[in-house]
Structure 1
Amino acid sequence: MATKRNQNVDINILVVDDEQTNLLIMKEALSGLGRIIATTDPLEALELSVVYQPQITLLDIEMPKLNGLELCKRLLDNPVTSNTSVMFITSHNETEMEYRSLEFGAVDYITKPIDIRLCRLRVSNHLQLRLKSEALSIARGDLQDLLIQLPIFVSYWSPNWERRFCNDYSRNWFGLVTEKELVNNANIDMLIPEELANLIKDKIALTAVDKSTSFRFELNTYVTGTKFLEIHVKRRLNRDKLIGYIVTAVDLTKVVMTQNALLEEKEWLNVTLNSIGDAVIATDTKADITFMNPIAENMTGWSSSEAKGKSIKNVMTLHDAKTNVIQSNPIFSALEQQKTVRAMLDCKLSSRDGRKFHVENSATPIRNADGTLGGAIIVFHDISEAIAMTLKMSHLATHDQLTGLPNRVLLHERLNSALQVAKRKNRRLAMLMIDINNFKYVNDTQGHHIGDRLIQELAIRLVDHCSPDFIVARPGGDEFIVVATNVEKLTSLDSLASTLQLAINEPFYIDDKEHKISSSIGISVYPDDANNEDKLQRYADTAMYRAKKQGKNQHCFFGQDLELEFLHRHKIEFHLRKALETNSLEVVFQPQYSLKKQTIVGCEALARLHNCDNNEAISPIDFIPIAEETGLINQLGLQMLIKSCEVGKKLLDGGTPTRMSVNVAAKQFANPHFPTQIKNALTQTQLPSHLLQLEVTESTLMSGYEATKETLLRIKELGVSISIDDFGTGYSSLSYLKSFPIDEIKIDRTFVRDMEKNDLSYNIVKTIVCLAKSLELAIVAEGIETKHEERLLIDLGCDLGQGFMFSKPLSESNLVTALQSHNKVNV
């Protein structure tokens, strides 16, 4: 176990944030964990990190002079400071930023406002991991040092006989004298005399693949004199492929040369074995103990005098670590086979006083001077800490850190095993894909700490309502997966889904407040729907999206109709990806008219997708949702932005300057780099910024007031105008509308279409127009299809309009023609 550090001396924590208030909060959060070095200057932080070499560095991302990501890169690129563990603390809460910070080498990501307790726990956990990692590294170094001190030549060679490791760094073992520098991949003849090296190769070449070979060799050099060596050579295989050789050499010179000095030999052996770091037990040919060194005494709980003469199986009790079944001691195999034997993996030693150790050991036969078997020796050491660290790292790699449930990696492993069992026993297996409805809204309104607590409580609730042999996993985000095994009746799945949804619907009480959530569940069945993991998961996902479309608290089974829908969606996704990869996405433009002057004042850019096999049009109603679900919407939006700017620049150069209105998706708007993408597009195309307008929906603007306002202000600084699209269909707050830098409101086509025959729609349009006028905003009506609708809108004071009455969406060439025809389109 690692010794606890002096916190004020050994542990340094560097905190970098350009806000002094945040530094004070962080000092409070990290108080007592170590020495806190804080600065608001990222350049000073580079100097402080060299001086103090902190174990943990906490960085804000957005800082003047040098942002946190670049500062992180410089710290990790500098060999002096690269060992620090970087954690980002930032107001960014987008997953993409979290991805980027981790890609830059950060170990963790904490969002603001700072949860002091959570921050302290995370930093403390990373410190503990650092301390344990350092302890393990020291232990490994100690083990290598011990190998160097052993009176045995130990080496490991590549299949080409190039050195990978040996404990004869000084090259004195075989008496070789050479001026050549010893490099890592040195050939065998640089460490072992040529005659012996060739003999080693010949002996192992004549030995069966799964066998090892041992032989004696008499070495004569003017440096070493005469040495009698026992050489052991063994192949190392991995899946029947040769990966290297282990060559050891034991110096038997004293055994051969001092046959008449046995007592002196034993004393020398005792001194040697008592000084090494491993436990050593020697036995006679019956496996009765003749010797134990002090470390062996400590680990077994037996003194050497008590153990002498007793069978090793009664003193050194070995168990299988998993089954606790008693194992045979390797000494017996070494004596029987007369060769070195290692114990099986996952081996535990039970001491006399009840302590248990994970051990690694090997036993080797000992021969008398005349070559007859004289006994055996077993060497072993405690690897409990290394095993514990391995298990912890394995758990972290296979389990969701928030809930403790299996993550995507372990789900894959267990699901494949369950599928094999189901196939072998001819049983059904079902996957239930559970998605929490509108969970992003919970995070945005209640905070991520509440969202995390809800996820944790929900995980407990799901496990409680599932059979012990079910698999309950959290692949990530707000999705859970339940795998029901041994399904006898499909009706039981309907009942299970209903039970889980009722459990999810029950209120959650967090911090004395009630929270309610709902879910959508998609179900796919093996072998009815799918015969492998990938299809089972994709079909459950497809069924889940169908359930979402049907409303809250719905569950849906995958069926033939969904399979056709899945194939249809898959084809659309293929064509969309192809269009984006080849930059062949078509952009059309619907003109926007001044209702009073009947002239074109702008146009809205609209995406059009075609089947790349037969060029048939694919409706935006089909491909836009798929783009959003697959994450392709960002790439689609960026291509639309650039292409629209290119067309806008062509129109300007042709003498018909026209404002381009480009729709912005919610995920695109949430990207912290979106304003930069706009700036780059304007720079790339040389389009003046006043000829570009962005259309953002109400729901997008409502996703976090501060972040939305900051993004809008950054866009406005570029000179780009902003329009609220589909106004009246969302849940906007008038106070938000007043405080946001908006230029225009677009009335949704549903109100325009119904205003002739529906007084409520007419009054809604009237109210929106009055609201826009009072806020000095431009107003555009969408979907105008009749002269009567146009007249009503003009009478209400609406400025602009677009719709099929004026013009359908036009290709670039037709738009140029329309603009050149006296700025009027005759439909």
Structure 2
Amino acid sequence: MENETQKVVIIDDEPTTLLLLESAVESLAKVITVSQSVQAFECVKLHCPDLVVLDISMPEMSGFEVCKQIKACPDTASIPVIFVTSHSDIENERIALSLGAIDFISKPVDMNLCRMRVSNHLTIQSQKSMLSTINTELEAEKKHLAITLRSIADGVISINAAGDVTFINPVAQRLTGYSEKEAIGKPIDAVMNLRDASSNESLLNPALYALEILRPVAMSYNATLVSRQNKIFRVEDSASPIIDDEGRLLGAVMVFQDVSEAVEMAVKMTHVTNHDQLTGLPNRVLLHDRIVQAVSRCFTSKQSIALLLIDIDNFKYLNDSLGHQIGDFVISNIAKRLNKVVGQGGTLARVGGDEFACLLSDVGSGFSADSIAMACLQAGREPIEINGKPHRLSLSIGISLYPQDAVNAEEMMRHADSAMYRSKSLGKDTFSFFSKDLQHAMHHRVEMEIKLRHAIENNALAVFLQPKYDFDNKKVQGAESLVRMYDESGEVIGPDEFIPLAEETGLIHQLGNQVLQKSCEFVASCNEHGQPFKIAVNVAAKQLANPGFAKEVEQIIKKAGIDASSIELEVTESALMHDFEQTRDILIELTSLGVTIALDDFGTGYSSLSYLRQFPLNVLKIDRSFVIDMDTEQQAHDIVTAIVHLALSLELKIVAEGIETQSHFNGLKALGCHLGQGYFMCRPMPMNDFFTKFIDDIDVA
């Protein structure tokens, strides 16, 4: 491949010699011939050949003069020159060598000898070129490496086998406080003052340890570097021995970085991860960790620990009505009060929106759970001034003890939660200890939730119907859907056992949709038998709180293929007042479908006459609690009378529920009620039985 890249310029005024030389060299390189010596230098300068073959004796300009021109020019000075001469005297050789000649070719020219001499010098030139390229690349690599080491963001220090510094980059100079001139040759321990961040004890330098064990090592955890100016940096990284290809230990290199900011950030993040942002108290994660630690210590100390779960009563109402900013203010205020009560004797944590937890790790040694609970209740009763007005709050507290009623941290939290809800059910502003009966109730609740989910998922909810009778003709004019469940033995489970659970778990939406769907399907069956029928379906407050509820009702009715006027939705007073504007919009949307709206349990809730005019109501239902007592208590009778007169004045249809005697029936009929339902006429029954019995109207005996 050399003849493709290398060039030879041959200069001779004799055509025969020139042709002979060209023939000898052309197989080795590209040949450029020059016959006039005065043009020789320009040709050499133009082509920059790898070799010049130059005749000494030429008429216009001697070979010596051409050689001087070549060597005098910086661009061509390094080009080797071989002289062709018929002279063999020492003087000519001396002159030629003094001008920079590297070899001679004698005339007459020996072709083989000429080719060998040219070939050797071309090879030398090729090797020189390769060597030059390699040296250039090595120099560039060396510079790049030096720039990299000086530019790298980490500190880099290398040492020899004796442990003395041989290299230190600018970052390492900044961190150690030593300049390159000061550090080179010093023991690395003198340059790097490494200490333990906790104990401040000196640490073995990883580079020295790497020399000792002949493998890479990591820097000690929690290491600090004390600079020459006594600045302290948290540092970490590693060191490795430097071993050449023959296995000789040359030294070690250490790479380290300043992680002070990262450590500081980690400390902050740990605090954020384990503490509540609003109150600064430990959060649920940190509380759980401390409970686990306290439980572990109990194995040896034999002490009891207590967990108090503290909930602010009616906080959601306050937060929704006054705004989240006021809610946060209340949370912060209560947190400060509780923290003052708990003090250093326990851990107070915020574990939810309006929930706190207090861990007492040494119950019986200086304080008891009930005394702390009583103090917390008292602290919660103190009025909080909001917008210049005092607001009184209360707390509900549940207490779980270890090892008395729990075996681990998770169970303590669950039991304290159950006890707290017991306090809520007892009227709030009190505390309750977890007990065996509470545990039984909790297990029963879990079992009931499983049954409820299973019934919903398998479309196994049962819908019973209780007929509504017309007071005038004593005929069935519709019915109310009442949801039931069956247990494993086929016994009916009443709604009181699972409806509150459905509302609490959010299953009420699926439950309500399933009851409505079954009710619509029943109406469709009646229509197929030529018996138009109207069914009232109860709607929970959480269903009305769903902005898409009206759309769901519309889809269910359309799927059943019935007229919307066949469906009546019963809502309670409390459901209406949950979100006045949204509820009114949803009811208007429902009535536009053709559904009628009944107000259930009237008189037991807000009983505000103003909202009756604001909602699109069609029916008013008198609560059974008034009907049952109307024969024996004048006040109950007067209330029923007032409700009937109010409904009639508002042109609402009146339905009385809870009719259990002939006297109830007669009295309500006399007052002008339109429809009634109750055990006196008929108990609720399964849909199939109802269909069989009431497909034709039946008179009441």
TM-score scaled by structure 2?
Answer: 0.74
- Does the CA-based 8 Å contact 2:346-2:359 persist in structure 1? yes
Most deviating of 338-347 and 794-803: 338-347
Question: How far does residue 732 in structure 1 lie from its aligned partner after superposition?
Answer: 4.2
Secondary structure of the equivalent of 2:256?
Answer: strand
Question: How far does residue 266 in structure 1 lie from its aligned partner after superposition?
Answer: 9.4
Q: 1:777-806, CA deviations, whole angstroms, 9 ceiling, x for partnerless residues?
A: 222211011121222222222222111111
Structure 2: give runs of 5+ residues left out of the alignment. Answer: 1-129
- Does the CA-based 8 Å contact 2:474-2:700 persist in structure 1? no
Say whether residues 1:340 and 2:216 are aligned partners: yes
Say whether residues 1:815 and 2:687 are aligned partners: no
In 2: Cα distance, 1:675 partner to 1:444 partner: 24
Which residue of 1 is the match for residue 698 of structure 2? 824
The amino acid of 1:331's aligned partner reads: A
Secondary structure of the equivalent of 2:659?
Answer: coil
Residues 577 and 781 (structure 1), Cα distance of their counterparts in 2 relative to 1, 3 Å cut: same
In 2: Cα distance, 1:491 partner to 1:798 partner: 63
Superposition map of 1:159-174 within 5 A = none
In 2: Cα distance, 1:461 partner to 1:617 partner: 49
In 2: Cα distance, 1:512 partner to 1:765 partner: 42
Q: 1:59-82, CA deviations, whole angstroms, 9 ceiling, x for partnerless residues?
A: xxxxxxxxxxxxxxxxxxxxxxxx
The amino acid of 1:552's aligned partner reads: K
Q: Percent identical across equivalent pairs?
A: 45
In 2: Cα distance, 1:616 partner to 1:451 partner: 46
Match of 2:385 among 472, 486, 509: 509
- Does the CA-based 8 Å contact 1:601-1:658 persist in structure 2? yes
Secondary structure of the equivalent of 1:334?
Answer: helix
Match of 1:576 among 452, 457, 469: 452
- Does the CA-based 8 Å contact 2:474-2:699 persist in structure 1? no
In 1: Cα distance, 2:379 partner to 2:549 partner: 40
Superposition map of 1:398-797 within 5 A = 398-468=274-344, 470-488=346-364, 492-612=368-488, 614-797=489-672
Superposition map of 1:257-296 within 5 A = 270-296=146-172
Residues 414 and 694 (structure 1), Cα distance of their counterparts in 2 relative to 1, 3 Å cut: farther
Secondary structure of the equivalent of 1:514?
Answer: strand
In 2: Cα distance, 1:310 partner to 1:512 partner: 72
Which residue of 2 is the match for residue 249 of structure 1? none
In 2: Cα distance, 1:512 partner to 1:306 partner: 70
In 2: Cα distance, 1:684 partner to 1:661 partner: 18
Residues 755 and 406 (structure 1), Cα distance of their counterparts in 2 relative to 1, 3 Å cut: same
Secondary structure of the equivalent of 1:752?
Answer: helix
Q: 1:200-259, CA deviations, whole angstroms, 9 ceiling, x for partnerless residues?
A: xxxxxxxxxxxxxxxxxxxxxxxxx99xxxxxxxxxxxxxxxxxxxxxxxxxx99xxx9x
In 1: Cα distance, 2:199 partner to 2:598 partner: 68
The amino acid of 1:505's aligned partner reads: R
Q: 1:274-325, CA deviations, whole angstroms, 9 ceiling, x for partnerless residues?
A: 1333211223445443332111122333323334454434543445556766
Which residue of 2 is the match for residue 190 of structure 1? none
In 2: Cα distance, 1:355 partner to 1:775 partner: 85
Question: How far does residue 455 in structure 1 lie from its aligned partner after superposition?
Answer: 1.9
Match of 1:381 among 235, 238, 257: 257
Q: 1:596-633, CA deviations, whole angstroms, 9 ceiling, x for partnerless residues?
A: 23222221111112222x22232322222222333322
Residues 562 and 596 (structure 1), Cα distance of their counterparts in 2 relative to 1, 3 Å cut: same
Secondary structure of the equivalent of 1:477?
Answer: coil
The amino acid of 1:456's aligned partner reads: S
Residues 475 and 654 (structure 1), Cα distance of their counterparts in 2 relative to 1, 3 Å cut: farther
The amino acid of 2:524's aligned partner reads: K
In 2: Cα distance, 1:324 partner to 1:609 partner: 70
Most deviating of 292-301 and 347-356: 347-356
In 1: Cα distance, 2:269 partner to 2:341 partner: 29
Which residue of 2 is the match for residue 83 of structure 1? none
- Does the CA-based 8 Å contact 2:547-2:582 persist in structure 1? no
Question: How far does residue 501 in structure 1 lie from its aligned partner after superposition?
Answer: 1.1
Superposition map of 1:67-466 within 5 A = 270-320=146-196, 327-353=203-229, 355-367=231-243, 371-387=247-263, 396-466=272-342
The amino acid of 1:740's aligned partner reads: F
Residues 278 and 700 (structure 1), Cα distance of their counterparts in 2 relative to 1, 3 Å cut: same
The amino acid of 1:459's aligned partner reads: A
* Structure (1 or 2) with the larger CA radius of gyration: 2
In 1: Cα distance, 2:222 partner to 2:602 partner: 66
Question: How far does residue 809 in structure 1 lie from its aligned partner after superposition?
Answer: 0.3
The amino acid of 2:504's aligned partner reads: E
- Aligned residues, how many? 569
Structure 1: give runs of 5+ residues left out of the alignment. Answer: 1-224, 227-252
Kindly report the root-mean-square deviation, in angstroms, between the aligned alpha carbons of the 2 structures. 3.1
In 1: Cα distance, 2:649 partner to 2:201 partner: 84
Q: 1:99-152, CA deviations, whole angstroms, 9 ceiling, x for partnerless residues?
A: xxxxxxxxxxxxxxxxxxxxxxxxxxxxxxxxxxxxxxxxxxxxxxxxxxxxxx
Q: 1:641-663, CA deviations, whole angstroms, 9 ceiling, x for partnerless residues?
A: 22222222222222222222111
In 2: Cα distance, 1:485 partner to 1:398 partner: 19
In 1: Cα distance, 2:366 partner to 2:551 partner: 52
Question: How far does residue 357 in structure 1 lie from its aligned partner after superposition?
Answer: 4.1
Residues 265 and 621 (structure 1), Cα distance of their counterparts in 2 relative to 1, 3 Å cut: closer
In 2: Cα distance, 1:319 partner to 1:580 partner: 65
Residues 473 and 695 (structure 1), Cα distance of their counterparts in 2 relative to 1, 3 Å cut: farther
Residues 405 and 266 (structure 1), Cα distance of their counterparts in 2 relative to 1, 3 Å cut: same
In 2: Cα distance, 1:318 partner to 1:667 partner: 64
- Does the CA-based 8 Å contact 1:605-1:644 persist in structure 2? yes
In 1: Cα distance, 2:315 partner to 2:533 partner: 41
Question: How far does residue 346 in structure 1 lie from its aligned partner after superposition?
Answer: 4.8
Question: How far does residue 477 in structure 1 lie from its aligned partner after superposition?
Answer: 2.9
Most deviating of 751-760 and 432-441: 432-441
- Does the CA-based 8 Å contact 1:318-1:349 persist in structure 2? yes
Question: How far does residue 550 in structure 1 lie from its aligned partner after superposition?
Answer: 1.4
Question: How far does residue 553 in structure 1 lie from its aligned partner after superposition?
Answer: 0.9
Secondary structure of the equivalent of 1:662?
Answer: strand
In 1: Cα distance, 2:385 partner to 2:203 partner: 51
- Does the CA-based 8 Å contact 1:590-1:807 persist in structure 2? yes
Q: 1:702-727, CA deviations, whole angstroms, 9 ceiling, x for partnerless residues?
A: 12222222222232332222222211
The amino acid of 1:532's aligned partner reads: N
- Does the CA-based 8 Å contact 1:818-1:825 persist in structure 2? no
Residues 403 and 780 (structure 1), Cα distance of their counterparts in 2 relative to 1, 3 Å cut: farther
The amino acid of 1:824's aligned partner reads: I
Residues 790 and 467 (structure 1), Cα distance of their counterparts in 2 relative to 1, 3 Å cut: same
TM-score scaled by structure 1?
Answer: 0.64
The amino acid of 1:527's aligned partner reads: P
- Does the CA-based 8 Å contact 1:524-1:539 persist in structure 2? yes
